[in-house]
Structure 1
């Protein structure tokens, strides 16, 4: 089973200060009329030594955004460009959030605290810089479930209701407001590199590559890779490895991110910035999460393609520093890395021992066909067949029967009729209790159930040469 996150002392590490003068703008948080603590993630607060804060101290730092000791003296709104639905937009950046602090975890890895809904910045354009409380509740649920399902994700660290009435065109208004803080390894986006390319800032591009390699270390490229000693090439290889695994993890989780723009792609390989996400009600490659995704660009089945396309935009930006051929060689690794990630993650989710790419691909195809035929939601399907049980007599059952169980399913958790899920009706039910009656019990109960699911599943398998968890303590 998965253990609880590893505790560590508070160790500030504001490394981004070295590049802050050209990658960010100092900002001031909004002054909110109220500060009602709704969610504090002490499981992850202990990884950076902040779980000892009392509620008043928590609100001071994560509602009023008083600086943490020896950390960033002022919040930083990061600058970036991006492709939004494949249309380049230079007029974006942190419009309702900022980087608040950086710290080390128990394994000396840098962790960021970044905000959402903390007020206007120079990049807000016509936005109010706020976040709806419903949006914050949805992000709690998304990150908790993704973590349980082995996805490398940001963690929802804090949610504080702020007492403002917000008007939104996509939900009943006025609606309640919140300031949210997320914990992640970084907030450097592919769009961060695109901005430097557009401004022809090659010296800053070199510094950003160096910062990323030092702050988010990864594997060296294969020995036969061209240009394997060049920093820009090394970085692209690392990002491709992370993104291939991320794309596979979404597919095995049955998760649809919804908005895979280049400004939503973190080079640390973490899933983050959750807007119109959905879990699949049934296996459907055409399923979309965003009501405005009319062409299905970011449909469930197109997510790997979208992630690779975004990696290609990083390669275009890095072309400012190196030749094309080594970058193309790095991109060419995406497909085989993705297939390897699908193999190990699909077998892990089913609780069986992988048997190699060819046989595992046959297992995946048979599972997809079985889900399409039955209309069963992926989480129910994986739960039903965990550890190779209930193989049945169909094609999938025949293939599954050739696999050795690798998970114990005799405990009471696996004897339930169904696992905890997050289909849209359940999300709306949880929000309805909060919205109508200020009843948070359903949210807390579902978070507890999801965390138990994560403990039962254990840590997702890591690629060769990588640690079992991208964030300290998840294994």
Structure 2
């Protein structure tokens, strides 16, 4: 097997937790395995880019174990609040953790699946993923990575040859199995489950596992863990906003403790800065609308604090939780300045610029991606008149963090609105033409180079 011994650094840290945290499972036996997306850029960061095509399908379509990591797949156990209603019947229902390894930054990474078959937590589900759902996840993760949002990455998408029945798209529809590269699948809901069962020993073990393996801290202090999670999730909420992204389902089982976004179902990018814009057709109350995402993520982190109350005093937990708001404000300022392509100056001046930008976006009909494309580097075109006068005056004194010499800036802004997602899928569904998807991924990666520090 062509694995670089320098780049491939396998781990099996999950086994430290023991049987009470997961269930051994077997992958589905698919009738076919056809690789549709192979992310060698991500694979290189974990030493797997040299896999042959046959090895790729064996490991990521048939799930032969990778060397020296987990001996078999494990479906994780967790609970969670779903649209603020507690559900104790959750867990990995169509996925599992397949392997762990260090990336090129030394972080512990999980290879997790979506659509890999039924588990004890599947309930009435078939454990499968539609091919369209896999394509949508590729587009979401590529776009978010380019826009500086901490996100899982789609490592592999393999079509599996089954015809699936679904109520929300034309059926039968094609099936796939997806592998994501993620900085942990430990969720807020993982802690909620242990608190629900009043298993204080297991809670302490999970706190220690998380701090040692995901934060590189040699302690087991639950207050310290909450403080770290508050910081990471405040950053995530801020970067969602700067990206104009709506996750759609910010339940506590969909928030991991490293603050890395993952598990993309009914996501959307907002066309304009509309706080009421929603991604999920079933979010009738707008609980996870674009403008309410910071509130939603804060609420989820509160549930982590409630769970940790079983093993920590309430006052220091509340003090840590109270830092979410100030940290979010600092993070959203940094995130919007990053998209504007300017260097920070001082907190008060930066905050004034960001607030002016948000007001103008909210009261105008200018698209989010159009504005940040035009304004990158700090100089607004003359076509931006009222209500942009305050932004123009404020941003003029800022130093660009990067010039506009990259070819991306000579074209049009790269967006990912729902109509384009459907247009990319249509030729795949109609005549198995993947050109539009591959072209879009290349354009997104070009934008990433243009934006990157």
Shorter-chain TM-score: what band?
over 0.9
Q: Deviations over 1:385-432 (max 9, x none)?
A: 00012254522212222322222013432121x221100000000000
Where does 1:182-201 land on structure 2 (aligned, <5 Å)? 182-201=180-199
- On the 8 A contact 2:204/2:220 being kept in 1, the answer is no
- The answer for the alignment partner of 1:419 in structure 2 is 413
1:397 correspondence with 2:392: yes
1:56 correspondence with 2:51: no
Structure 2 CA distance for partners of 1:8 and 1:244, relative to 1, 3 Å: farther
Q: CA deviation at 1:218?
A: 6.0
Count of paired positions? 445
In 2, the alpha carbon distance for the partners of 1:7 and 1:217 equals 25
Q: 1:124 aligns with which of 122, 125, 130?
A: 122
Q: CA deviation at 1:361?
A: 2.3
1:358 correspondence with 2:348: yes
- The answer for the alignment partner of 1:314 in structure 2 is 304
In 2, the alpha carbon distance for the partners of 1:189 and 1:317 equals 12
Q: 1:163 aligns with which of 161, 164, 171?
A: 161
- The answer for the alignment partner of 1:258 in structure 2 is 248
Q: Deviations over 1:59-79 (max 9, x none)?
A: 000000111111111100000
| SS of match in other structure, 1:388 | coil
In 2, the alpha carbon distance for the partners of 1:400 and 1:188 equals 40
**Using CA pairs below 8 Å that are at least 6 residues apart, which structure has the higher relative contact order?**
1
Q: Deviations over 1:312-371 (max 9, x none)?
A: 000000001110000001111111111111111111110112223322222222222322
- On the 8 A contact 2:148/2:239 being kept in 1, the answer is yes
Q: Deviations over 1:97-145 (max 9, x none)?
A: 0000001123332111000000000000000000000000000000000
Where does 1:368-407 land on structure 2 (aligned, <5 Å)? 368-390=358-380, 392=382, 393=385, 394-407=389-402
- The answer for the alignment partner of 1:467 in structure 2 is none
In 2, the alpha carbon distance for the partners of 1:31 and 1:178 equals 12
- On the 8 A contact 1:103/1:110 being kept in 2, the answer is yes
In 2, the alpha carbon distance for the partners of 1:128 and 1:430 equals 26
User: TM-score, normalized by length of structure 1?
Assistant: 0.91
- On the 8 A contact 1:8/1:48 being kept in 2, the answer is no
Runs of 4+ in structure 1 over 4 Å off: none
Q: CA deviation at 1:219?
A: 7.8
In 2, the alpha carbon distance for the partners of 1:360 and 1:23 equals 44
Structure 1 alignment gaps of length 5 or more: 1-5, 221-228, 460-475
In 2, the alpha carbon distance for the partners of 1:425 and 1:352 equals 31
- The answer for the alignment partner of 1:278 in structure 2 is 268
Structure 2 CA distance for partners of 1:92 and 1:282, relative to 1, 3 Å: same
- On the 8 A contact 2:374/2:380 being kept in 1, the answer is yes
In 2, the alpha carbon distance for the partners of 1:218 and 1:103 equals 15
Q: Deviations over 1:130-167 (max 9, x none)?
A: 00000000000000000000011000000000011111
1:410 correspondence with 2:385: no
Q: 1:440 aligns with which of 430, 434, 438?
A: 434
- On the 8 A contact 1:391/1:401 being kept in 2, the answer is no
- The answer for the alignment partner of 2:205 in structure 1 is 207
User: TM-score, normalized by length of structure 2?
Assistant: 0.96
- On the 8 A contact 2:414/2:447 being kept in 1, the answer is yes
Q: What CA RMSD, in Å, does the superposition of the two structures yield over aligned residues? A: 1.6
| SS of match in other structure, 2:176 | strand
- The answer for the alignment partner of 1:301 in structure 2 is 291
- The answer for the alignment partner of 2:319 in structure 1 is 329
| SS of match in other structure, 2:377 | helix
In 2, the alpha carbon distance for the partners of 1:282 and 1:47 equals 35
Where does 1:146-161 land on structure 2 (aligned, <5 Å)? 146-161=144-159
In 2, the alpha carbon distance for the partners of 1:230 and 1:67 equals 31
- The answer for the alignment partner of 1:176 in structure 2 is 174
- The answer for the alignment partner of 1:463 in structure 2 is none
Structure 2 alignment gaps of length 5 or more: none
Q: Deviations over 1:18-37 (max 9, x none)?
A: 11311000000000011011
In 2, the alpha carbon distance for the partners of 1:218 and 1:254 equals 31
Q: Deviations over 1:246-287 (max 9, x none)?
A: 000000000000000000000011000000000011110000
In 2, the alpha carbon distance for the partners of 1:410 and 1:70 equals 45
In 1, the alpha carbon distance for the partners of 2:373 and 2:171 equals 38
- The answer for the alignment partner of 1:30 in structure 2 is 28
- The answer for the alignment partner of 1:288 in structure 2 is 278
- On the 8 A contact 2:374/2:381 being kept in 1, the answer is no
